[in-house]
Amino acid sequence: MPGPRPGTTGNSLAGKGNRQRRDRAERLLDLVTLLLNATRPVSREEIFAAFPDDYQDGGAAAERMFERDKADLLAAGVPLEYQRGDEFDSEGYFVDRQRYAMPELDLAPEELAMLFMTGAAALDAGSFPLSRALIMALNKITLAAGRDMAGAAMLGRQHGVDTAGTAALRLQERLKLLHEAIAARKKVMMAYYSFWRGEQTRRWVDPYGLCCVHGSWFLVGRCHLRDAIRVFHLDRITGLEKNPLNPQQADFQVPEGFRVRDHVARHPWQIRAHEPLTVRLRFLPPVAEVAAKELGPLVERVEEDGPARVLQLQVTYLEGILPTVLWYRQRVEVLEPEQLRQMTQAAWSRLAGRGGD
């Protein structure tokens, strides 16, 4: 049992009262806060005095409410304990701080590096909702580990992970600007980079809506350069600016009946970026059957070519199927269209060049 906890007086605890009746969850939270901040066990009478609007006059009803509150705290995992008083120790309730707090982690340098890389990868995904808190946590890990984290930081840079969290913050800024532009119906000037084509273009875009698919954010809008509705991956936007002219005047109207989900599908190659194209892929064993099952109902036709399988499907975003093609490496051959063959060859060349840096 913990030793004596000299400290607070009944009057100081009672000063926390005199507030309106709170709901049960808020009362329990305040009760835990009171017990954690106290420097000695808090008696039942002092607790009742601290919450006069809840425990009222300290009668039978208050006793029953207090018993329910204690049971709720224990059920929630709060280590609430009672210390009997004597000539040396105060009598009352307290929360064991050591059991209440998370245990200290004694991690080896390799484990710290793995933890750091996992957090950095979450930031690099760009859609982590608690990015600022995660950045602070990673900074603390770096400071605590000192030289032991040098390898992890270097590994993060080699893999393109933005260990400072700027990629995540940049995404938040873009989302904020696009939300504002969508609400005000203002067009945006966008600089957009295509890794597979190795080119960057600038164009005006009327932003219609945003969506998140498998952790990646996409913008759907009318591209002035292509004069058609296009889908843009926010991670590939290298520059973004809202039209500053006539800020109170809308630049466009969203077409009647437009729905974001009609343009963003479950699989990347189903994003409606262009008219449907027939794609034929020849898979070699042993991945032929696996590929057929993975693509499943999306496959229009399966042809047997000895032990190989030729799969045919309709694709409305060629860039979207490139990762699948690259994943199977030498065990898949692009039969058509020719544009996809060229894109695949160019992608392998660029990836080989990046690996040699």
Residue 194 vs residue 255, higher pLDDT: 255
Task: Please count the other Cβ atoms lying within 10 Å of the Cβ belonging to residue 92.
Answer: 21
Residue 4 has pLDDT above 70, yes or no: no
Peptide bond into 307 cis (omega under 30): no
Residue 351 has pLDDT above 90, yes or no: no
Convert the pLDDT of each residue in 301-311 to its tens digit: 888 888 888 99
Report residue 20 as tokens. Answer: 């309106």
CA–CA distances in Å: residue 21 to residues 5, 35, 48, 55, 338: 30, 19, 13, 10, 72
Mean pLDDT of 148-166: 44
Question: What percent of the chain has a predicted confidence (pLDDT) above 90?
Answer: 17
Residue 333 has pLDDT above 60, yes or no: yes
Give the pLDDT of residue 195. 55
Give the pLDDT of residue 121. 66
> Where is 62: in which H helix or E strand?
helix 60-75
Q: Is 158 helix (H, G, I), strand (E, B) or coil?
A: helix
* Domains delineated in the chain: 10-100 (1.10.10), 109-164 (no CATH), 172-264 (2.30.30.520), 277-355 (3.30.70)
Q: Is 196 helix (H, G, I), strand (E, B) or coil?
A: coil
Torsion 122-126-130-133 (CA) sign:
positive
Give the pLDDT of residue 102. 60
Give the pLDDT of residue 95. 86
Convert the pLDDT of each residue in 12-67 to its tens digit: 443 443 344 446 778 888 888 888 888 888 888 888 888 887 887 667 888 888 88
Q: Where are the beta strands (DSSP E) in the chain?
A: 80-83, 92-95, 188-194, 199-213, 216-223, 228-233, 237-242, 277-283, 299-305, 308-315, 332-336
The single-letter DSSP state of residue 247 is T
